[in-house]
Structure 1
């Protein structure tokens, strides 16, 4: 699925449109990190197939924003974050028990198709003539990018700091940025709309994905079933196909 079409689908799911067309008797609401978009859309369709009469509604955004929504009173059944810190905010608020990690992800340096700015590696992110897009350090992809750049000794000069990884990817796809740091899964989802620059050691910077059922979940049995799906062979296969690694 092309990137922009995938983002459109994510908006529909996040606004309450399930992947099925039949009326739903029950709704499972899943708050999930934006980098999980493609995988969770596929898993939502599988879940609805295996649980007739159930609609899965995905709210996809940056993990800290989702955590704040939950602390502020938003209702959900499941929270899947790209950050242990964001998950802990929810746990500390008494909204969930300790989460489990179901996947990990790695960083990738991406450029628009054809690499028009001739980017060769992380050092180029310090170039004055390069438009660089990074995630804001307050969100998981930004924190991971900051650590990776620090290890590499690169003083990056981002032109924009985005609130989730999909926004960085979109800037690169549209040619509004000459380069950006995203997750491997996002680079794979974009297909030939971006090129990935091989950077030795960059993939060593990993992000863990914790998931939890919310204490006030309206559908606790469905929440448990969703978490079980993530840990199942079927769920792991979908995540692996997207580029996620096992926990």
Structure 2
């Protein structure tokens, strides 16, 4: 569980696309050892916040700190070197590369020093990937591609794992496998996870804390349990099937 030390803090961040403000004074923090979920409707700015943390687009106002260091102006590749790993929306694996080669790309920060050991951990989490080792990424099912995307991010030995819509377009059984894996990583390795999700029910059940993003602004925050029970959150995000 959380140590009470903020590993990531986003303070008053504003991000623009041209003249359009996509994020409006966003404040979010993720403590070491915590799973934090950011929920919101499509177009609320969730992915924009993820990308802004990674420096593309840049925050026009406000500050982003990681492990106490101001990373607001750092180039994306330097942010990655600080051990922030991302599994982006839409999975974005390398489709022509095999599963093995995709994992090697994830581990390249360390020049493959711990490759075998780290790959074994990924295979324990997602045994399916071991069976598909020589298969090209583009020929995998959607669920397997999502597992590979998370596996590739884990190969970088992240201090913070950022997941953007990991359940998008997947069958309920696969979603459960993915969420169970995230929970296990947090429980067994103390991995800090920042999870952006449209699947509010699954995300808030998994998370220690959550934030609700509406039109580029954080409108609510609280423990996962409290947000799940909140009538406004229920009405906006949980009615219609996710019970």
Fold match, TM over 0.5? no
TM-score if structure 2 supplies the norm length? 0.30
More strand by share: 2
More helix by share: 1
